[in-house]
Amino acid sequence: DPDFIILQNSQILAKAVAGKGGNIDLVASKAVLLDAQSTLDASSQTGISGSVTIESPIQVLSGTIAPLP
């Protein structure tokens, strides 16, 4: 697993129109950082939505991402 997952102005989509939405799994050993402009979407328009799972000790899901030291 990576130490960090950093998404800035990004989209991870697992969407469906008539079927089941997909699943999004993010796993990092130190941190998952997403800015406010990033989107994780596992929805379905007419079926069952999928899931979004984030496994990490630190999860920052909005705000500004500063440079790493």
Question: Which tokens is 19 given?
Answer: 């079927």
Question: Cα 66 to chain center, whole Å?
Answer: 18
How far is residue 45 from each of residues 17, 35, 53, measured CA to CA in Å? Answer: 5, 25, 20
Residue 68 lies in a domain: no
Burial of 34 (0-12, 13-18, 19+ CB in 10 A): buried
Q: What is the pLDDT along the chain (69 residues), one digit of tens a residue?
A: 899 999 999 999 999 999 999 999 999 999 999 988 999 999 999 999 999 999 999 888 776 666 666
Range of the domain at 45: 4-60
Residue 67 lies in a domain: no
Angle at 61 between CA 31 and CA 35, to 5 degrees: 95
- Number of domains composing the chain: 1
